[in-house]
Structure 1
Amino acid sequence: MMVIKESSLEKGLPKKTESICPECKEVIPAKIVEEEGKAVMKKECEEHGKFESIIWSDVDLYLEAEKHAYDGVGVENPKIEDASSCPDNCGLCNLHKSHTCLANVDLTNRCNMNCPICFANANERGYVFEPSYEQVIDMLKTLRDEKPVPTTAVQFSGGEPTIYPDYFKVLEKASELGFSQIQIATNGIKLANDEDFAKKSEEAGLHTVYLQFDGLDEENYRQARGREMLDLKKKAIENCRKTEPNPLSVVLVPTIVNTVNDDQVGDILDFGIKNRDVVRGINYQPVAFTGRIDKEKRQRQRYTLSDLAIGLEEQTGYLDRSDFYPVPFVTPISQLVSVIKDEPQIAFTSHPHCGLASYLVVSDDGEVSPITDFVDVEGLMDEMKNRADEWDTFLKKTAMKLGKKVKTKKGRDKSMVKNFKKYFGDYLKEEKLPGGLTIGEIFKDILSEGNKDSVGKFAWRTLFVGGMHFQDDYNYDIERVKRCVIHYATPDGRIIPFCAYNGGPTYREEVEKKFSIPLDEWRDRQ
């Protein structure tokens, strides 16, 4: 029942990897080296010359992150069974090392905006990509059929997903198919302009709104989105707050560009904390450069995950860069729960340099503390990994002692709850969380029940803060692509890693052209 294993990544600097040429997209050798305290990728194409890009602006944080790397077990039913190289035959393939943790399904490439920094670049391509309702459902079924772990989280994106003709039907069907986390990535226009849209979306099955949110200064929106939008964003959040009996959860998604809005990361987080009854998290996205960009502008605007950690430290006063951990850091929890429940669980085995995250705990009077104030997180993860490795044997040896019920899933869960403090209490500090809760009680609730009420006890007083740096052609690392956990489902039955879909060989263009019609033809049909 193992869902993680020791990482096969090369550690330390310098190191060799493979990347692509930003001009011809061919796979070329690359190396990552330390220069002036930064981790820098250097590569050379025989035809197009040399390229370099800062990967992380702080080499110490870069090296610390890779200490927490794990590999996944891949998928048992890959679409491509005999791939010999990456990323030229995505599907998923037999070379991929992770399963899908979050799936993107593009409902349309149409949009009610035309943002300069959009991945999809929806309104300039001259064609409309808009899968039929039946095609969308087939994509969802493909995701649910993934083995050993069916995909449980889906994000509908675009373009702008809320303008898709069968938007509500798709939400309902996703819920019916068993997705436990249903999201939309939206600019918020429909949510703001239609007061009932949030309620209708939630009733149809929507759990979370991923809302573009680029700062608290209209100049940010003028540069990133081409128009003023701050009041509209606030109105969208307010309408999500009004849904009953609970607010529709919102995650703010700021695209951060150096020299444009990097000075806003602290203010954005403070805004989220003040609105934590509806805002459940902030997921910063350092800009990825699509298309051609001159070297000077690229170097000036490049923003990395270490810039984010340091920026939040400097701009907030309550966070330290050491409070952030890479995404795979939490995978021992997945392994432990997989053993306890005797079924494989979602494991976030992405590359350690894909993302960073932490949790904030907020008291009734607004005092903010990182989760590391309450938990020895590194000790806890190490102990969970060690305990998971021996848990099967432990259960067998103690079955008679704990009773026959331990042989059942319910019995194993109860056994874990009963013994939680015995095994993990040393890593939980005794300070009380807001409302009289303790970390131990919350972890036990999540591990034993795994339901929304249990998680809710944790979520309503906490705020997720993290960053995910999607790749572009300049910092493209194939080792990251192989471990990607955020994937696109396509109408032809493939599942493609995010950074391969939007960068590198650019599968997005291939897929959209294959399943699109010319823009003029689409207009004539309306």
Structure 2
Amino acid sequence: MDFARDNCDVVSGVIFQPVSLTGRISFEELMDIRYTTSDLKEAINKYTKGAINIFYPIAFTAKFTKLLAWFDDMPPFSMTSHADCGFANIIIINNKDEWEPLENFFDVEGLVRWSNQVWDMVENKEVPKPTGLLKGINLSDFGQLASKIGNFVDDMTSLGYRQAIKAYYFAGAARFIKSPQKILTSKTYQAFARLVMAPNLNSAGKFFNDRNLMISSMHFQDAYNFDLDRVCRCLVHYGVID
């Protein structure tokens, strides 16, 4: 993680792989070397001094990634593995080169719920209804971005469906930024703003090269933690000769 932090201009994240056991082993040996995602979460939390204490299942952003692909007119992409198969989160590297949790910047669960809602609209071919969308939002907090949000309703009639959904998503996503007054000074907010204003897979990739690191894990199954529910939703298959 230190290497990733020190080279965050070219490193997008770190994906850990807890031990997977193959072949016969005694119960005592199993207990001695078994290392699970729960152990990894605890170790990461301790190492970052509590900067990452919330971890999300891989499938948490399944609809969000589909939405980004659709915005870019690309085939939908999502990872829908079982919740026990792995986790991911984004950690911010601040100006002091210190770890900082993503949750300090965004209401993550609220933003993902909003993304899910908009994707459901796309699947059902629903037309956005902007009335009341900006209720409770102080546009003055968003500086130069306020005009883009404020003009949303007026622009709706002249946009195609894909562009209309983009504008609708952008306006709604503004509610989940915790400190909008910092949007012009924070690299994290700026990278996110670019992602939302041009929500596609390319801008998502650039987000991870601007002092934002993905910390993730994928835990293979073995003979000692085999779960059929996980197998049914597995993304990786491999076989060995015992």
When normalised by structure 2's length, the TM-score is 0.76
CA offset at residue 395 of structure 1?
A: 5.2
| RMSD, aligned CA | 3.0
The residue that corresponds to 1:181 in the other structure is none
SS of the counterpart of 1:459?
coil
Question: How far does the alpha carbon of each residue in 1:111-167 deviate from its partner, in whole angstroms, 9 at most, with x for none?
Answer: xxxxxxxxxxxxxxxxxxxxxxxxxxxxxxxxxxxxxxxxxxxxxxxxxxxxxxxxx
Picking from 168, 193, 214, the partner of 1:419 is 168
The residue that corresponds to 1:406 in the other structure is 160
Structure 1: 5+ residue runs without aligned partners? 1-268, 487-497, 511-526
Picking from 29, 40, 48, the partner of 1:308 is 40
CA offset at residue 287 of structure 1?
A: 0.3
CA offset at residue 369 of structure 1?
A: 1.0
User: 2:188 touches 2:210 (CA, 8 Å); kept in 1?
Assistant: no
CA offset at residue 370 of structure 1?
A: 1.8
Picking from 291, 299, 323, the partner of 2:31 is 299
User: 1:363 touches 1:434 (CA, 8 Å); kept in 2?
Assistant: no
SS of the counterpart of 2:100?
strand
CA offset at residue 458 of structure 1?
A: 4.0
SS of the counterpart of 2:83?
coil
Q: Residues of 2 paired with 1:396 and 1:383: CA distance?
A: 14
CA offset at residue 423 of structure 1?
A: 1.3
Picking from 1, 8, 13, the partner of 1:276 is 8
Structure 2: 5+ residue runs without aligned partners? 132-153
Q: Residues of 2 paired with 1:422 and 1:288: CA distance?
A: 44
User: 2:67 touches 2:115 (CA, 8 Å); kept in 1?
Assistant: yes
SS of the counterpart of 2:16?
strand
Picking from 474, 477, 486, the partner of 2:224 is 474
Q: Residues of 1 paired with 2:80 and 2:119: CA distance?
A: 16
The residue that corresponds to 1:379 in the other structure is 110
CA offset at residue 309 of structure 1?
A: 0.9
Matched, 1:370 2:101: yes
Q: Residues of 2 paired with 1:441 and 1:341: CA distance?
A: 16
Q: Residues of 1 paired with 2:9 and 2:73: CA distance?
A: 35
Q: Structure 1 residues 296, 280: closer, same or farther in 2, change over 3 A?
A: same
The residue that corresponds to 1:438 in the other structure is 190
Write the letter of the residue equivalent to 2:160.
V
Q: Residues of 2 paired with 1:270 and 1:444: CA distance?
A: 29
Question: How far does the alpha carbon of each residue in 1:172-227 deviate from its partner, in whole angstroms, 9 at most, with x for none?
Answer: xxxxxxxxxxxxxxxxxxxxxxxxxxxxxxxxxxxxxxxxxxxxxxxxxxxxxxxx
Q: Structure 1 residues 302, 477: closer, same or farther in 2, change over 3 A?
A: same
Write the letter of the residue equivalent to 2:81.
S
User: 2:82 touches 2:234 (CA, 8 Å); kept in 1?
Assistant: yes
CA offset at residue 439 of structure 1?
A: 5.6
Write the letter of the residue equivalent to 1:427.
F
The residue that corresponds to 2:212 in the other structure is 462
Q: Residues of 2 paired with 1:446 and 1:285: CA distance?
A: 33
Question: How far does the alpha carbon of each residue in 1:427-479 deviate from its partner, in whole angstroms, 9 at most, with x for none?
Answer: 122244744743641331551x432x663244231111111110111111121
Aligned positions of 1:198-347 closer than 5 A: 269-321=1-53, 323-337=54-68, 340=71, 344-347=75-78
Q: Residues of 2 paired with 1:437 and 1:385: CA distance?
A: 21
SS of the counterpart of 1:288?
coil
Q: Residues of 2 paired with 1:283 and 1:295: CA distance?
A: 28
CA offset at residue 393 of structure 1?
A: 1.2
When normalised by structure 1's length, the TM-score is 0.37
CA offset at residue 377 of structure 1?
A: 1.0
Higher strand share: 1
Aligned positions of 1:344-363 closer than 5 A: 344-363=75-94
Q: Structure 1 residues 378, 436: closer, same or farther in 2, change over 3 A?
A: closer
Write the letter of the residue equivalent to 1:317.
K
CA offset at residue 332 of structure 1?
A: 2.3
Write the letter of the residue equivalent to 1:425.
A
Q: Residues of 1 paired with 2:225 and 2:205: CA distance?
A: 36
- Higher RCO by CA contacts (8 Å cutoff, separation 6 or greater): 2
Aligned pair count? 215
SS of the counterpart of 2:88?
strand
SS of the counterpart of 2:231?
helix
Question: How far does the alpha carbon of each residue in 1:385-432 deviate from its partner, in whole angstroms, 9 at most, with x for none?
Answer: 12222342115999x97346414xxxx1x3344334421211122244
The residue that corresponds to 1:393 in the other structure is 126
Q: Residues of 1 paired with 2:175 and 2:189: CA distance?
A: 17
Q: Structure 1 residues 440, 369: closer, same or farther in 2, change over 3 A?
A: same
Higher helix share: 2
Write the letter of the residue equivalent to 2:156.
L
User: 2:128 touches 2:165 (CA, 8 Å); kept in 1?
Assistant: no
Q: Structure 1 residues 287, 274: closer, same or farther in 2, change over 3 A?
A: same
Q: Residues of 1 paired with 2:60 and 2:5: CA distance?
A: 24
Q: Radius of gyration: which is bigger? A: 1
